[in-house]
Amino acid sequence: MTDAVTDEVAASDAATFQVPGTAVLAIGEGDNGVESLAVWHVSAVGALTGAWVSPVSEVFGARSAARRVLSFLERRAVADVYPETVPGWLEQLTAAADLPERNGWWKRQEFSPVEAFGEIVERRRRYAGTVEEERARNKAITDLEWVHELSDGVEVGSFEELRRIAGVRTAEGNPVVSEALTIARTLRWVASVWAETEKAKNRRRYVREVHGEVEPLPPSWLSAVQVASATRLPL
């Protein structure tokens, strides 16, 4: 098993949200054409903080290797980018690690980046509605302004559509590293758009009074992180 530390490590804002963060999983061709599993870590503010790549035959075939990979996932939300495959990989890892009575431990700490994006769109719609209501009382009120503009009716049905909206290009590298890094970069974009959305709320007292204080992540992602932060596996 080899460690591959990404060159995109950024300083995370630990004072904002002190939790381990999120893990990204990908399976594909690695070095020398070997089918491999990649695990990428994304901080709670979207920074890429580390990566590990290992042969699939090793992580699914050896108890110690499977347990090491699970240690990278413990206490972290898991980005369920491909719901038809990611849960199966976690089930295989759990079986290979020979964990006692831990079937489905990951279910409450999974989240969908597509759903998280939908929550951002919905939040912006609600905040804009509150601004309109305030404008009815005060004509000087201006519209919310965004660095990342999102169409009111934008809908995303898959991670690939989300990647395109985010403008994230397919990363360089062998297929498994490219996949994991592309997912991680897209999550970073989602986190940044959410942060922009919440900052807009925080700048207007009347919006904050209606919708509450700033939240560090979209609700579904935040819930997964919070559940994961309390998860301990018998490794």
With 90 as the cut, is the pLDDT of residue 102 above it?
A: no
| H or E element, residue 2 | strand 2-3
Q: Is the dihedral of CA 98, 102, 107, 113 positive or negative?
A: negative
Neighbours of 110 (CB within 10 A): 18
Whole-model pTM?
0.89
| DSSP letter (8 states) at residue 216 | S
Identify the pLDDT of residue 132: 95
| H or E element, residue 135 | helix 113-135
pLDDT digits (tens, 9 = 90+) for 207-232: 999 999 999 999 999 999 999 988 88
Phi, psi of 157 (to 5 degrees): -110, -10
Identify the pLDDT of residue 47: 86
pLDDT digits (tens, 9 = 90+) for 13-65: 333 444 568 999 999 999 999 999 999 999 877 888 889 999 999 999 999 99
* 144 three-state secondary structure: coil
Q: Do 111 and 224 contact (CB within 8 A), yes or no? A: yes
pLDDT digits (tens, 9 = 90+) for 108-125: 999 999 999 999 999 999
Q: Do 111 and 79 contact (CB within 8 A), yes or no? A: yes
Identify the pLDDT of residue 129: 96
